[in-house]
Chain A
Amino acid sequence: MSATGATVRPAAASRLGRAALGRRRDVNDRAMRGLAFAAAIVCVTPLAAVIAFVTINGIGAFNLDLITKGPKALGVGGGALNAILGTFQMVPLASLIAIPTGILGAVYIGEFAGRRSARLIRFSADVMVGVPSILVGIFVFTFLVLPFKQYNAFAGSVALAVIMIPIVLRTTEETLRLVPGALREAALALGVPVWRTVLSVVLRTGLAGILTGSMLAFARAMGESAPLLFTALGSRLVNVGNFAQPMDALPLFIYRNATQPNTTLNQQAWGVAFLLMVVVLVINVSVRARSAGRRVG
């Protein structure tokens, strides 16, 4: 380093030079550490700003009609019941498809697959997470909307499921790695068949981690709008249980109402955004709070 290089210089010059160099290094060190701290602050400021604005505007726009009524048939006004019920129908159905698929896929990678195929499936899941969600919407559109010439809520659920599967699979798989091999061996030594060992020993042990992953995927699906645009489409009608027809969702409601030049509609968008943000953040905070201690450090 430059400090050691300085010692070959004549003594006097070296002492002076080293002191100056030391000061410069010290200043540089402090400056860069300060800069890194500033960057971290810049990084989390938007979180505070978004939460603050959505909370203030959202509470201001909140009223009982928003959660108890659908939009008025004519004109503006009414509430967002269509969107609330839509999200809480489509996301559970998507979870019903995605969570078992993701968990069983992870069981295969973790418990049975050879190294090469485990790697291939893991890699596909990671790439799948990176595919823009709007393309998932188009993909499902070509299978479940185009043939029936009808936008429908079932297609919406499938699109959300496609987004959830790789998330559930990856988190479950990482949890299964932490289950000690000795547990499996103990069960097998008792003569328990492999399938029962996996279901009642391995998955039971990893249950907390699997739940974490599933809840995070659930929260993610709640906030997705792009994959629903050409599948569930959205609807002004309150649709309960008819998955063959269009259905609304919270993010679709926000998008529609925010992009229209009408203050009443914009107000409703803030109210619904507040609702959505609270649910998503509560799920995330409660689920992550337990695992955060493990991940940091």
Chain B
Amino acid sequence: MARNASARRTGGPGWRRLWSDERSRGLIYQLLVVLGLALVAAFIVSNTIANLQRVGLASGFGFLSEQAFFDINQRLIEYSSTSTFGRALVVGMLNTVLVSALGIVAATAIGFFAGVLRLSPNFLLSRMVGAWVEITRNVPLLLQIIFWWVVLSGLPKVRDSLALGDAVFLNNRGVRLPAPLFESGFEWVAAALAAGIAAAVFVARWARRRQKLSGQNFPVAWTGLALIAGLPALVYWIAGSPVAWDIPEPTRFNFRGGFNVTPELVALWIALSTYTGAFISEIVRAGILSVGKGQTEAAGSLGLRPGPAMWLVVIPQALRVIIPPLTSQYLNLTKNSSLAIAIGYQDLVSIGGTILNQSGQALEVVGIWMAVYLSLSLLTSLFMNWYNKRIALVER
């Protein structure tokens, strides 16, 4: 009231009309909020610039082309200590992408499996899965990552490695696997693989169309497997096995040759996929329960057994409910992978932190961190939104 009175006193009739109109008053409020936000932003920017100048720090992204002079133990692309900071960041980003992609695949499989099991009529089974879900999703992820890392560091010491046929070695420094060395002729195998995949997709489409028209089933899974695995295998044999294997050999300290999957990667992967898997299982359960009981019963009365009824009738309908929250879980998993730093997995944050420390370019590195995680998240969202649209209920 008082405010109205003061407006009446200070403003002319035009101002008063503007103020008493609900719509224009709303506009004024919004303008003021925007103005306030702009002032705060301007303050933050000017303060930052002033502080940077005060301590005499150069800003800009020129440091990315300086040499890094530190080493990274897991690199998916060529990298040495004489490479640049920029390349080190790319190595870190790829490590983040690797563990996120592995985690998303495993978490989805675990989540669907556990979600379906939880609804099993078998009392013991559903309760055991229930207990696992509650424990896994209610213990902080950081603790789980450290837990798995400690478990893996309890593996045999390197000199007592568990050996599998003198080619695979397991110890507390990871799994040492033979590495394939591709020789000439391998390109034919790769081409056969591509052809196999294309043929399998074609067969799947053809089978679906045929089923719609005639109702007849076709063993798509087996044919697909034969095409994707069989065709390259055949070409591999014809081309005279164009792959040599680099078998790891024990040396004084470690193994030479092959490639090593570090315990840090495995610990992070297990922790991320079980933690997120537990959440996904609840989403799957909710999705399945959202499909009316009548659907299952109708499928049963059409003669479908419980398995096909679940995968062909219930799950496709449940997916509409499952996909949006599932997308959030994928995004969470990617961002949670930054906890890698706790166990020394060299992801984007870990390597970025080292660069920040060696170069002193804090703002730039933090900016890069944010940009990369934002891009990864937006890409995931884009893909999932596209998928969501594809499976949306088409009403006829």
Please say whether chains A and B are actual partners in one complex. Answer: no
